[in-house]
Chain A
Amino acid sequence: MSKYSLRICHLYPDLLNLYGDRGNILAFTFRAGLRDIETEVVALSMGQPFEKDQYDIVFFGGGQDAEQNMVRRDLVSVKGPAVREAVEEGRVFLCICGGYQMMGHYYQEQNGNKIDCLGALDIYTEGKKDRFIGNTEYHCDLLVNDPVIYGFENHSGRTYLGDSVRPLAKVVSGKGNNGEDGTEGAVYKNVIASYSHGSLLPKNPELTDHILTLALGRKYGEDFVLEPADKTFEEIARKEMKSCKK
């Protein structure tokens, strides 16, 4: 029996399963496993209540428009209050792309129509015609050993941050939140949100470890120390991203 364990909630995996979001779950499991930390992944989908005390990490990814519309309705009407409470009490979330947008106040479609979202994060998003697509590089101060995040973005929404959230990172290359203010993603309490696919975590083990540390610290006490672990293969992938950058 392992001394430590984490329960990971994967929100709507049967609807939001694009652009390798599944890789982020694998990254949690893999790098926790290197430290002999057990992980259990629980899928939570339409109509099922969100029991916030059950989960140490919540993962919320993105999908195609039709699927995201279904999810948004369920999120707001079924899971809404519990998710907002979980955020406020400092539970750990990773939200990518559509999941990131849906955590905000609203999503404004190109025709001006505003779609209400969860309002758990002080952000809003405006849909635009042209998409931001391509490899990205960001600088993230949360990651002390190696602040560079590599990803791939593919989104038409422009997200703007309110006063109560901080950006996750500064854009080095790519567009990030909106292509205007040089910010990428958002951080609020223990919620980390980003537009990066890639998948995001496998190529950014420092970020994986950071999120694992947040979750384990919350569960086992602030002084919990995550042992260092091998990242040879992650580094190979990072080196290639660095050299292929144009």
Chain B
Amino acid sequence: MGSFRVGFAFVVAGGIRFSLRLLGKGATALPGKVAIKIAPRFIWEMADGRDIITITGTNGKTTTTHMISEILRNSGYYVATNVSGANLASGIATTFAQERRHIKRAKRKGLKLVYVLEIDEAAFAKVAGDLSPKVCVVTNLFRDQLDRFGELLYTRDCIEKGLDLTDAKILLNADDSMIAALRKNREARTLFYGVDEQSMTQNNVTNVAMAKALPASSDAEYCLSCKRKYDYGARSFGHFGTYSCETCGDSRQNPQISVYFDPSMSSSDPGLPLTFQGKGFSVEGVLPIPGSHNIYNAVSAFAACSTFGDIVGDSDLSPEHVALALSQVQPAFGRMEKIQVGDKSFCILLVKNPVGLDRALSMVASASDAGGIYLLLNSNIADGTDVSWIWDVDFESKTLPDQLYCSGERYADMLLRLVYSGAGTDRIRYAAMPEAFKMFEDALDACAPGKCLYILPNYTSMLALREFLVRKYRLKDFWR
């Protein structure tokens, strides 16, 4: 710990965190905020000499961070990580404000300390340099709340700026043309991960005619440099696939680490067999958390852990071991964890943007245990005040379960979205926010034995629902 200022900041932040916890409040941002205020270089000093892995990109940050953390915990590491959602500079500083505790605990248990940090894309530009991570994982670029960020290219510029402030190994998604372009001028330290071409399917649509006439909104159909429409050999979903531009010759790079699976098997049920392939290895595992988007999260987590192992020279992080540890990852609450209630269950999938909702709907549409969908939509500042994005999502081509529910402060918008999708009004039940929890109980009652009620809330509606569920079912609240 370098300066007096940082030492003081550390003590104050620790004190605030302690008092907030006594008060029963989540202390995820305030201690860090104060620490940075007192010592602007707090993160830089605290991060000095630490082993750090960062995860940024628009979708899949939290799940990827969770997967990497679990793999490393399973491999002899004490993992310090920021609380999901607290992914701005303040949240990261809060994580470091507990550093002494982390070190003490790691030492007592004889574990190596590693930081696994999820970082917001805009914040990444500012904090990446202070962190000097060993490995930077970049997940993908899908449009998010545009009234907050403005433009996708701005978001990418933020990530680019952050990368240039580090000399970390960079792990890029080969199948995302916008992310893969970040390799330029960074070739020597870039590694690609992706889905094996054989495993790519077109968008999993059941009503092809409709989808053709009204394609779900895609974020990158054209080459950014020459504005020519990409040709695709195969596609996973969204703009992910083996793209190529005839004009400039830019094309999807062969990933050094790829994942293969049988595309005729459903990724909506647990346990899809995966084969991870790379230079000199081919190892088996299973997809620990259902959903085709989680295949990407899994291969990026695999790549991050084995690359980190290479860098620090840890033979415990062999491909075989990483694949095994990944297969054993348990979903987290709010991220696909199934909560059993009697002979049925419910699970929450946070959906914040068009591709997130598209993937969640697609997953539920093909899940064999789907006993209903419950959509919740709010429009507070943290959600983005504009709810028009729900119309960008292709509901039309998916065969959803018979029982459809919607609520949230903007339930009427979601209701209309469902009606216009042609769902049939007799299948839909709806309630304004004050009755949302009552309707949850009704929906769970109506769910058939052995089936799961899938809940798809956006950010603040999830916070509200989560509070209710934690109280009602005495669940451990993973956010604290």
Binding site for B on A (CB under 8 A): 10, 13-15, 17-23, 25-27, 30, 40-43, 45-46, 64-67, 70, 133-135, 152, 154, 197-199, 202-203, 233-234, 236-237, 239-241, 244
Contacts and interface: CB of A to CB of B under 8 A. Distances in A.
Contacts, number: 109
B385 A22 contact: no
Interface stretch (B16-24, B294-302, B330-338, B388-396): B388-396
Given A154-B147, A239-B412, A22 B217 contact: yes
Contacts of A46: 222, 229
Contacts of B422: 30
Given A46-B229, A236-B415, A14 B386 contact: no
B146 A154 contact: yes
Contacts of B425: 233
Which of A25, A197, A233, A239: most chain B CB closer than 10 A?
A: A233
Nearest to A27: B420
Nearest to A241: B412
B386 A25 contact: no
Contact of A40 (B213, B218, B409): B213
Contact of A64 (B151, B227, B386, B390): B151
A154 B386 contact: yes
Contacts of A65: 151
A111 B456 CA distance: 44
B463 interface: no
B223 to A, nearest CB: 10
B290 to A, nearest CB: 27
8 nearest interchain CB pairs?
A: A23-B391, A20-B391, A20-B388, A17-B217, A240-B412, A237-B412, A41-B213, A14-B221
A70 B386 contact: no
B214 A13 contact: yes
Contacts of B387: 152
Given A20-B391, A199-B391, A237-B412, 17 more contacts: A14-B215, A14-B222, A17-B217, A17-B218, A18-B146, A22-B392, A23-B388, A23-B391, A23-B420, A26-B214, A27-B420, A45-B229, A46-B222, A64-B146, A135-B385, A197-B388, A240-B413
Contacts of A133: 147, 385-386
A20 B74 CA distance: 44
A22 B224 contact: no
B415 A152 contact: no
A20 B217 CA distance: 9
Interface range on chain B (Cβ under 8 Å from partner) = 35 or more
Contacts of B415: 233, 236-237
Nearest to B217: A17
A44 B93 CA distance: 50
A21 B146 CA distance: 14
Contacts of A19: 146, 386, 388-389, 392
B152 interface: yes
17 contacts: A17-B217, A18-B392, A19-B386, A41-B214, A43-B213, A46-B222, A64-B152, A70-B222, A133-B385, A135-B385, A152-B388, A202-B391, A202-B416, A233-B425, A236-B415, A240-B410, A240-B413
Nearest to A238: B412
A66 B153 contact: yes
Contacts of B421: 26
Nearest to B411: A240
A209 to B, nearest CB: 15
A171 to B, nearest CB: 18
Contacts of A43: 213, 215
A152 B227 contact: no
A28 to B, nearest CB: 11
Given A13-B214, A70-B222, A26 B391 contact: yes
B355 to A, nearest CB: 12
A239 B389 CA distance: 21
Contacts of B409: 244
A66 B388 contact: no
B214 A25 contact: yes
Interface string B32-72: 00000000000000000000000000000000000000000
B470 interface: no
A154 B145 CA distance: 12
B380 to A, nearest CB: 12
B221 A15 contact: yes
Nearest to B227: A70
B419 interface: yes
A86 B78 CA distance: 68
A180 B60 CA distance: 43
Contacts of A236: 412, 415-416
Nearest to A73: B227
Contacts of A67: 222
B234 to A, nearest CB: 18
Contacts of B224: 66
A152 B386 CA distance: 7
A41 B212 CA distance: 9
Nearest to A14: B221
Nearest to A200: B388
Contacts of B392: 17-22
A197 B413 CA distance: 13
Contacts of B390: 20
Nearest to A13: B215
Which of B152, B153, B387, B390: most chain A CB closer than 10 A?
A: B387
Contacts of B215: 13-14, 43
Interface in B129-184: 143, 146-147, 151-153
Contact of A22 (B214, B411, B412, B419): B214
A15 B222 contact: yes
Contacts of B391: 20-23, 26, 199, 202
B240 to A, nearest CB: 16
Given A17-B392, A18-B146, A19-B388, A42 B213 contact: yes
B389 A26 contact: no
Given A19-B146, A22-B391, A25-B214, A203 B385 contact: no
Contacts of B213: 40-43
